Structure 1
């Protein structure tokens, strides 16, 4: 692996340091104050200047994230609230807004987007004919069972930091879905790799919707920062776009009373089916890039939340379009996983210098 302009193999690094942690590593900690108290976290740190936290008790989502001292994972006023404080039906289905912070919030596993009450007859339980789902579903506030974490040397000589765990979303007379999540980062690199598998571990056909709410904040997001997308066309936008007229390409400073602007874009994939939307900050000389497979995530949303005190931009690859679950059921595009069926999602988060 290459660090600070020099190449190292496993033996060469061992000659210099008795612990790989001198170059980079993963450390298990427990957050211990305020609403975060009790959350297990894994601190990843690479020798190329990338650091990020994996929130084990928050579906192994990504919290704080920095590159060479500059933050890019959004930090909201809610902090990383312990899931034990979460009330799913609070705020008329908007309870996620009381625990919404960090680089990645996972939405699903059976519902994404806005609240919906839908048919649940597949579970064959007469007292529960329908199921009610809040904004972006339940999974983001379910603790994971941690399988392990650490480091391994790959065949090509790279030291890989990793963590893996399982999140179970299950109910009697309801869904039984399991998310197995693996997170990797090279000690010599500035890329986070996310490998997710969602499996129907139950015995009834079960709805499946999946979305990554990837949130970039200050200082990567700042006045003059620019979005770079391989646009084909914009297929939907919120009413606030026309009302406010704020560009979704050139980012302004925080706005007083800003109403979120949301877009669904059709992006042009490369020959391998991949797209790489970016946020570029030329003043800092840095970029953030998300890479995903359009076969796995056929829809993509851009979220602008440029209000004072909650300044963020979101990239959102999704399995379903912005109209949500009720519309997907009506038009036949809703995904149902058969017993034992699974879906795999491979995504990369990259930062670097221009």
Structure 2
């Protein structure tokens, strides 16, 4: 059953009304033909009841644009969506030069957070996984009982001579009429040596969901400022404003109390959107991603709220080693993560 255009309809009711399902819901492989994104693949997705988003297979199967019933909720930076051909890992510069942000940028897998030197090797800001093209990209669209299920999957391999060999298999699923995106990731150390492993999901939300009228929705948490700048705003970490000229980012670490299912749910509500307000939310298991950073950046053009779960604080590999947050994957070992990203009406 699917909730479409104000009515609950069955599979047969829907099939009788359309010649091809792409009329109302689809995942479609396409490519860019202009600018710095020229030649990149995209998967354009729509679910039939207002949710639409774009997957970028050539940027680690991450998600760029996302909207609900015409209301964008992703943030796209002035670095633009661009090809990984423009990327060179160069401390902070390499990542920031082509950080399009989008609603999901995956960071890792050998470093997350600040650029640093660990055991004599330099690591750039947030790693390289977001700039590796996927292969074996596949789209599936089929009826499963009474649900029309659409999935996009791809394999992303982060490997280098004399270095790590990680493989990510990502599956992104949505259903007809169900306003959520489910991302299921399986990371594996496919090499023969144990490897340090770091993972962070940079989830980025922008205007109009982010505005001076918006409010944060979070589980109960212990809040810690990341920097001296954040210390200035610790009593107002939930307060949102119009864009502020010269605003300096503030980041806050949250230690959440998960619910009875072991899940954490965070989101942004805007009461002025839709008929009675809209909320965009992120749900995940704390056991899989025990750390969380709120990135509050309310500057002009750089107007974005980051809700960022991870395997460790975003301080870089060297700090993670010192603070005993640097996990390790043994040869053949896997780590699975599931994220749910959705929109609901208030």
TM-score, normalised with respect to structure 2? 0.95
2:300 aligned residue (300, 303, 308): 308
Aligned twin of 1:319? 311
Specify the SS of the correspondent of 2:59: coil
Specify the SS of the correspondent of 2:344: strand
Deviation at 1:245, TM superposition (A): 7.0
Once the two structures are superposed, residues 147-170 of structure 1 have per-residue CA deviations (whole angstroms, 9 ceiling, x without a partner) of 311312223x11111100000000
Aligned twin of 1:154? 144
Aligned twin of 1:144? 134
Aligned twin of 1:30? 31
* Structure 1 gap segments, 5+ residues each: 120-129
Q: Partners of 1:197 and 1:245 in 2: how far apart?
A: 36
Deviation at 1:319, TM superposition (A): 0.4
Deviation at 1:23, TM superposition (A): 2.0
Superposed counterparts of 1:95-244, under 5 Å? 95-101=94-100, 102-119=102-119, 130-155=120-145, 157-243=146-232
Deviation at 1:187, TM superposition (A): 1.1
Deviation at 1:246, TM superposition (A): 8.1
Q: Partners of 2:323 and 2:345 in 1: how far apart?
A: 44
Once the two structures are superposed, residues 168-189 of structure 1 have per-residue CA deviations (whole angstroms, 9 ceiling, x without a partner) of 0000110000010000011111
Deviation at 1:32, TM superposition (A): 1.4
How many pairs are equivalent? 341
Superposed counterparts of 1:241-256, under 5 Å? 241-243=230-232, 247-256=236-245
Specify the SS of the correspondent of 2:74: coil
Q: Partners of 1:16 and 1:344 in 2: how far apart?
A: 39
CA contact (8 A) 2:110 2:317 kept: no
Q: Partners of 2:280 and 2:160 in 1: how far apart?
A: 38
Specify the SS of the correspondent of 2:193: coil
Q: Partners of 1:338 and 1:85 in 2: how far apart?
A: 32
Q: CA RMSD in A?
A: 1.5
Q: 1:314 to 1:7 in 2, by over 3 A?
A: same
Q: Partners of 2:167 and 2:309 in 1: how far apart?
A: 20
Q: Partners of 1:213 and 1:43 in 2: how far apart?
A: 21
Q: Partners of 2:77 and 2:103 in 1: how far apart?
A: 10
Superposed counterparts of 1:55-134, under 5 Å? 55-89=56-90, 92-101=91-100, 102-119=102-119, 130-134=120-124
Deviation at 1:213, TM superposition (A): 0.2
Superposed counterparts of 1:238-317, under 5 Å? 238-243=227-232, 247-284=236-273, 285-317=277-309
Once the two structures are superposed, residues 95-134 of structure 1 have per-residue CA deviations (whole angstroms, 9 ceiling, x without a partner) of 2112222111000112111112223xxxxxxxxxx33210
Deviation at 1:88, TM superposition (A): 1.2
Q: 1:245 to 1:263 in 2, by over 3 A?
A: closer
Q: Partners of 2:69 and 2:134 in 1: how far apart?
A: 29
CA contact (8 A) 1:158 1:188 kept: no
Q: Partners of 2:59 and 2:25 in 1: how far apart?
A: 24
Q: Partners of 2:322 and 2:16 in 1: how far apart?
A: 63
TM-score, normalised with respect to structure 1? 0.93
CA contact (8 A) 2:311 2:325 kept: no
Deviation at 1:244, TM superposition (A): 5.8
Aligned twin of 1:344? 336
* Structure 2 gap segments, 5+ residues each: none
Q: Partners of 2:292 and 2:93 in 1: how far apart?
A: 21
Q: Partners of 1:191 and 1:268 in 2: how far apart?
A: 23
Deviation at 1:353, TM superposition (A): 1.4
